[in-house]
Structure formats: C-alpha cells, structure tokens
Structure 1
Amino acid sequence: MAVPRVAIVGRPNVGKSSIFNWLDGRRLAIVDDRAGVTRDRLVTLIEHDGHYFELIDTGGMGHLDSDNLTKDVEQQITAGIEEADLILFVVDTKAGLTSLDEFVAERLHKVEKPVLLLANKTDHAGLDNSALDFHRLGRGWLIPVSVLQNRNRQELFDEILARLPDYENEEGTGDAPHMKLAIVGRRNVGKSTFVNSLAQAQRVIVSEVPGTTRDSVDVHFNLDGHRFVAIDTPGLRRTKSIRTDIDFYGLHRAQRSVRRSDVTLLFFDCMEAISKVDKQLAHYIEQNSKPCIFVVNKWDKVADTVPTERWVRYLREHFPTMAYCPIAFITGQTGKNMKALLNHAQMLFKQAQTRVSTPKINKLLRAALQKQQPPLYLNRRPKVYFGSQIAITPPTIIMMANMPQGFPPSYRRYLINVFRDHLPFGEVPIRLFIDKRESQTPEERKKNAKLAEMGEQAEDEFGPQDNYPGN
C-alpha cells in the first residue's frame, strides 16, 4: 500500500502531540505538560478530501530521558524522519526562538525533504509578527497555527497535500487492514518485543524499564498477502498504583485499544505468577466481548522444565469464565510459534463474523431445552418460542420467551455452552439476550412451525439428537 507519510518533529513541549491529535480529530497521543512523554513514534492514517496519508508523531529532540532511554527515543525520531515524505517542524510562538529550536533546524538542514514550519500557539493574528522570528531558522514554509483556537487547520491540510507525492493511482490506497490485534498485558511481559518481531523492525522501544511504552502504538505489517495492524499498548499497573497522568492516560489508551481490536492477545510472562492486573485486564476484555487468546510469552526459558499442561490448568483455574479462550506458548524475541498464533487469531476473527441460520439455531435450542428444561419460576415453567442470531462480532443470539426473568444465570450459561459446543463459535464470546413475548399469534405459530420443519430438513451439522452431549 503506497501511502505518503508526514512526520511531526520539534523540541519538547511545543505541542507536537496536540497537533497530531488535532489533525486526526481524536485524542490518540498523550498530551502532558511534562517533557519527554512521547517516546515511540505514533502513526495514524489521515483521510482528508479523499486523500490519504500517514501522520507520525515523534518524541522531543534534545530531551534527556529520565529512564536513560534517550538513545532509543532518538532512534525512533530518526526512523520517523527517514520514512517520511514531508516534515512538520513545530515551534512555540509564545515561548519564542530557543537554542533547541536551532538544534532541530540544523538537524533538518541535512534532510533533503520538504519541510513545513508550524508556529504553534499563535492563537490570534496579533501574534503573527512574533511567529515571523522563526524565519531565522531558515528551514520550512512558515504557517501560524493554534490547536487551542483551531486556527489555520484547513490551510495546513492544503499545504500538506500540495507537497505530498501523488499516489492517487496506486492500487489499494486507503485500504482498511484485514484485522486489528490489540496486544495487552501488564508491564514487561514482552509486548513490544513481540510487535517488533511482527514488524521485523525496531518499531517500538524495548527496555527492561517498566512503563517504557506510554501510548498505544499502531504497527502495520503484512502476512500471507493480508495487511494487519498490531496495537502495542502500555503495560498496566493496579488501579491503586496509578499515580500520574501518564499512567492514567496509558490505562485509557490500553482500554480503547481493546475496544478497537478485532482480536485481543492477553500476554503473560511464564516466569511470573498471575496478578490482579491480569485479572482486571481479562475482565475488561470479557466485558467488551472481544475474541481473546491467552499468550504465554518467553516460553523458551521453561520449555524443558515446565509442561504446557501445567500452565493450561493454571490459566483455566484463574479465568474460569473465559475457558473458551485458546492458549498459545511463544517466544516473542525469536518469533517461535508466532505464525501459528497469528493464524489462530485469524480463525477467531472469522468465527466472530460467522452467521448461523435461524432453523439451525432453533433445532439446537429445542434439543437443549428437551435435555435440560429451565427451572420453575413462580411455580411455572418458562417457555421459549424461538431463537435467532441478530448480530456478529460478537455472535449475538436473541431468544423470545414468556418469562425472561425465569432463566437464571446458570441456565443462561448452559445455553451459551450448548451454542459454543455445536455452532461455529467455539472459541469466541457469545452474547445471549432473552426478550419477553407473552404468547404467539396463530400467524407466528405457523411461521415457527415452518421454521422447525425447515430445520428438520436442513443438513444437520451437529449430528442426530441422540448424540447430544449427555445422552
């Protein structure tokens, strides 16, 4: 996919991440008054007036990182500049020209690419003369902008599109990815190493320092002719341990990444015990009905001494309500078993998009009700009239009954397990709704009788009723 790229660069605290969010129209990057918040380069696909380009946010040049990651941050900045077709050099009108601005300009003089000089925080026309001082940097076409006042956004888009390569005739421009994978887990379980292995590049910073990743980073990669997005997320801490804005926004970015994803990979470190953070993450994934794979990483360290069955039992004991989730054992650093993991993720993606006909659902539902009737409610037996699948991703089934409140959680779980065992949704969440219907009209009885007859005549992919589990 040939999409031009635009990189945002500048010294710390000039509003690079604010401009990134402003142009995208969403709060993607963390914005904080402290310098050095952005470390990895963030990428988002921008569409404007039918044109597409990738926008890249980078860390602040010249900042000494508090966790001794300055070299890694600089490598991310360099990579962003090298892959870009256009540079947005951001300065701060209110702060004026600084020595760090001159340092950035000197570095960009060595880059043979077009540059737009964005004088940010030029909140009104009265500050335009102050912005003119940045002409002394000698690099880039000057545009006064203000994120706060939404000033000159359209002009900026016009200048960007005017300077980008023409990829209009390239096939596939703007195509959506085949699948989005959210990689989540607590700190230092190997998420970023896994993402770099997928991208086959040092796409995000990897360090033993807990909390190295602060934003959710979209990384595009290709597999078997399909385009994917892996979303690397910040490592999470227990809620009571969140003490800074960075941790707070990191938590919300990770949660939003789960919501955006088609499949979520929940990472565990095979050398560490399951923690409360792991359980909180799993609960959030389950709440959002996302297909999930439990990924046990760094398996090469214990492969010769710990059988996989032990970890399988361990996970099932701690996450009994997610027993449908498959489990993968990988080594992210070497890439071992990663192809099999991605193939399995695609299987879950397809399962979540599967539709099953109403006759098949009703035939299976009748068998389940005959095998185990719902318990009495107010001395009456609840009746089920029919069921139907009403949505995909996740598969969602609605049942019409006379007394929805008469189906306790245990019986609802029984029905979901029946659907999971006999429909092609074996490894993904299933949502079940029970709606109230007092009685059936003659026309509805006739229609449902016809559906039942169709179900009897349909190809029975679940086997005869005599083979139903428990018979």
Structure 2
Amino acid sequence: MPVPQVVIVGRPNVGKSSILNWQAGKLVSVVDPTAGVTRDRVKYLMNEGDRYFELVDTGGIGIVDADDLSEDIERQIQMAIDEATLILFVVDGNTGVTPLDKVVAERLRKLDKPKLLVVNKCDSTKTDLEVAEFYGLASAPLIQTSVKANRARTDLLKQIVALLPPAAESEQEEGAELAAMPELKIAIVGRRNVGKSTFINALAEEERVIVSEIAGTTRDSVDIRFELDGKSFVAIDTPGVRKRNSLANDIEYYGLVRAQKSIRRADVVFMFFDATETISRVDKQLVDEIQQHYKPCIFVVNKWDLGLDKEMTAERWSEYLISTFATMRHVPVAFITAKESRNIKKLINLAQSIYKQARERVSTGQLNRVLKQAIELNKPPSRMNRMPKIFFATQVSTEPPTIVVKCNDPELFDDSWKRYLLGYFREELPFREVPIKVYLRGRSDEDPADESEG
C-alpha cells in the first residue's frame, strides 16, 4: 500500500505553498504574490510519530494562466485529487469566503474523501469571531492557521494524522524506506525547452510534470521517485534557466536559485543540451556551477531525432562539447530522445556507474604505486633552483575522490605537472569519469595546501 497522500487544494493566493514549506520546515515550493506560481504537483515526505505521508502542493483552482497552461495545471490538480487520501481545503481568513472558494467547495463536496478545512492567514486572534462564515464551505473539521505568525503548525500536523485512515501494516515500513533508502538523486538541469520535463515524465511513466512548448513552464524543483531494475531513484526536475540579465521577475530568480540548489544536493547531474541548438551562455553558467561543486555529471544531448537531420554527428557533438568545456573532458556524453524514451535506461545505468566511481576508495598501497609510476614517466622539473620531491599520497575522502600528496614544498610544482598528475590518476585509478581533488601539502599540516582539480 502506498504512503498516504495529503493534498493541499484551494483557489490561488490562499497560501498553499507556504503551508507546504511551513510544515516541511524548508523551502520546497516557490512562494510569490503572483497568482499561479505553482503549476506541477510538488511533494514532500512528512513523518509524525509512526505515521508517514506525502504532503502535496497543487496549482490554484480557477487560475487563468498567463502562458495558457490552465488546462495542464487543472489536469495536474485533478490527478492529485484522484490520488488523495486526505484533502486540505485552504481558504484565506483575511478575505472571507469568495465566489471561487464556493466553486472549490462544490467540487470537493462530491468527493467521498476525508477533508480538513484550513483557514489560513489568521495572523491575529482578532479575526477569530469571523471564522464562522467558512463552516458552510465543507462538512469537515476546521482549523485556523497562520504561517506568518507560526500559528497552529503543530496542531495542523496532529489533525492531519488524526484524519488519516488507520495505518496499514506496510505504511511505516514503506515510509521509513522512502525516508532512509539510499536513493540515487539525479538533478536534470539545462536552459529552457531542452526537454527536461518530457524526460522526467518518461522516467515516471506518467504525466508527472507539465510539458509545454512554452519556455519556463516548470517553476519548482520537483522530486520524482521512480524504480528501475529494482533500484530506487529520485529525479529532480529543475526550472529552465535564462541568462541572469534576462530574469524577468522573482519567480524566475527563485527558479535559478532552485536549479543551483538542486545541483548541490544531487548525487549525479544530467546537464541537458538541445541537439538542434548551439551551446549558450546559460549552458556555460550551469556547467560552471556543476564544476564548482565537483558533481559527477553526464552531458545529455536531447532531441537527437531532430538533430540527426543536421551535419552534427554524435562524434562531432562530443568534440564540440569537449572543446567548449575543456576542463570537463572526463564527462561522458549521452544521446537521447526523451519524447520517445530512447536510450533512457542506458542513461540511468551510466549514472549509476559514475556515481559508483565517485564513491570509490583506493588503498594507500595502490595509490602510491600509481604515484611512483607517474613520477618515473615524467619527473617534476626543478624550480627556483630547488628539486621538488614527493613522499607519499593517500586518499582522504570520496564524493569527490580527494587525494592528499605529501611533498617537500607545494610551491615547487608547476601547473602543467599538476595537470599531468591529475590526468595520470584519472587514467590509472577508478575515477575516469568523475571530478577529482588533489592537494599538495608540505611536511607540516600547517603548510599551505596547493589544490588541483578536474
């Protein structure tokens, strides 16, 4: 039996996304005064005592979307309602009952599912006497909340748990597994309209996020769990990124921030490119972000079925990427057609392979044998009338693999030789396709460290 779904519904601007973030204790869903910010279903796994449930944020019912995505948003809302175990009907305590609240109430009244009426934005007890008008909206318990004033957060959580059906024997086990299982987290990043959401839906084997030709459809970072060959994964769909000087509003700015955060919390990053387009400044910004955080990465060239009509073969595309991102030569390149689910399983298998590389740890003996071979083949040249000497090396960490090389003086090793050593380590150690950190340290730990990376 799946973990219960607690779905938050209501008209726009009643604070649904704020309630999700408030209960989660972290920024999960985009919050902005602009109506219609949330478009996809945004989920977060909650745990209260021995109960687990997923809290699901949805788009505002009745929204007229500026990008003509109203039908797509409505379909996402309906899918969430269909899957709901419990519905949180959220209204605004400041505005009172509106005609659109009544439309939402009529829609929910037909459902034979438990409901909780949440009168939000009750920042002060002065409005408590006015809450009576909301009772007519639903035959359900009522609770007053305020995210701003942190009012009734715990009470809301307790009421949710009380209204859930009795826990199935498998719920606690499944919920605990969802919370603790070593899922491989994959962030899918790229500029607008490269096919990230289409790829996510192909993985989930359902319409989990909205797909549209309109740029900027995805605004939240949406986590989608899926399984392949008995293994669990989390795909993180991120908003498409524009050039920094083209960010039109706060929604787009937070979308950029979310893409950056998704890169940081991912185990592997899929950097998407459009086979029909050239590499852009935005692509370079994202690759730079990936590199700065030493994330295992795969360059994914999507829409390959369209790109085949041009002269850019797979070999030429790979050369194009390597020449553009010279410091990322180790990154593997994959070619897919997300719309037709072509090569997707191979891509996920490749992600598992490079994640395994990032977690590898080699023995000190093996590492020093490789180090000795590197020095014998190409000794570091003398510098400042002094001969650089290396004593030993040890791997001190993984994700990324981090190697400390003890020497007489880090200042004696020039950049070209450090690049050579890094490349030799990559070729001879099980880290061929992932970033590596190499630190040169003097005899004393207090000596300044010299770092090479790639």
Fold similarity call, TM over 0.5? yes
Alpha-carbon distance in structure 1 between the residues aligned to 2:128 and 2:387? 77
Name the structure 2 match of 1:172: 174
Q: For residues 170-319 of structure 1, what are the structure 2 equivalents within 5 Å?
A: 170=171, 171-175=173-177, 176-303=181-308, 305-306=310-311, 307-319=313-325
Structure 1: 5+ residue runs without aligned partners? 440-471
Cα pair distance change 1:398/1:116, threshold 3 Å: same
C-alpha distance after superposition, 1:113-132 (max 9, x if no partner): 11111111112333222223
Deviation at 1:438, TM superposition (A): 4.7
C-alpha distance after superposition, 1:323-351 (max 9, x if no partner): 11111111000001111111111111111
Q: Secondary structure at the match of 2:77?
A: helix
Name the structure 2 match of 1:25: 25
Kindly indicate whether residue 438 of structure 2 is the aligned counterpart of residue 423 of structure 1.
no
Alpha-carbon distance in structure 2 between the residues aligned to 1:284 and 1:35? 31
Alpha-carbon distance in structure 2 between the residues aligned to 1:373 and 1:49? 61
Deviation at 1:310, TM superposition (A): 1.1
Code of the residue aligned with 1:321 in structure 2: it is T
1:361 to 362, 367, 376: 367
Alpha-carbon distance in structure 2 between the residues aligned to 1:35 and 1:404? 57
The answer as to whether partners of 1:40 and 1:213 remain within 8 angstroms in 2 is yes
C-alpha distance after superposition, 1:1-23 (max 9, x if no partner): 73111111111001111001001
Alpha-carbon distance in structure 2 between the residues aligned to 1:243 and 1:15? 23
Code of the residue aligned with 1:10 in structure 2: it is G
Name the structure 2 match of 1:452: none
Alpha-carbon distance in structure 2 between the residues aligned to 1:258 and 1:204? 19
Deviation at 1:177, TM superposition (A): 4.9
Q: Secondary structure at the match of 2:176?
A: coil
Alpha-carbon distance in structure 2 between the residues aligned to 1:117 and 1:405? 67
Deviation at 1:383, TM superposition (A): 2.1
Name the structure 2 match of 1:142: 142
The answer as to whether partners of 1:91 and 1:119 remain within 8 angstroms in 2 is yes
Name the structure 1 match of 2:60: 60
Code of the residue aligned with 1:400 in structure 2: it is K
Alpha-carbon distance in structure 1 between the residues aligned to 2:50 and 2:359? 29
The answer as to whether partners of 1:352 and 1:395 remain within 8 angstroms in 2 is yes
Name the structure 1 match of 2:450: none
The answer as to whether partners of 2:186 and 2:234 remain within 8 angstroms in 1 is yes
Q: What is the TM-score when the length of structure 2 is the normalising length?
A: 0.94
Code of the residue aligned with 2:132 in structure 1: it is L
Q: For residues 404-419 of structure 1, what are the structure 2 equivalents within 5 Å?
A: 404-419=410-425
The answer as to whether partners of 2:3 and 2:174 remain within 8 angstroms in 1 is no
Name the structure 2 match of 1:37: 37
The answer as to whether partners of 2:53 and 2:175 remain within 8 angstroms in 1 is no
Code of the residue aligned with 1:110 in structure 2: it is K
Alpha-carbon distance in structure 2 between the residues aligned to 1:103 and 1:238? 40
Kindly indicate whether residue 347 of structure 2 is the aligned counterpart of residue 341 of structure 1.
yes
The answer as to whether partners of 1:3 and 1:167 remain within 8 angstroms in 2 is no
Alpha-carbon distance in structure 2 between the residues aligned to 1:64 and 1:113? 27
Q: Give identity over the alignment, percent.
A: 53
Cα pair distance change 1:221/1:177, threshold 3 Å: farther
Kindly indicate whether residue 13 of structure 2 is the aligned counterpart of residue 8 of structure 1.
no
Name the structure 2 match of 1:95: 95
Deviation at 1:288, TM superposition (A): 0.6
Cα pair distance change 1:358/1:204, threshold 3 Å: same
Deviation at 1:186, TM superposition (A): 0.3
Structure 2: 5+ residue runs without aligned partners? 446-454
Kindly indicate whether residue 381 of structure 2 is the aligned counterpart of residue 379 of structure 1.
no
Name the structure 1 match of 2:337: 331
The answer as to whether partners of 1:177 and 1:229 remain within 8 angstroms in 2 is no
Cα pair distance change 1:11/1:177, threshold 3 Å: farther
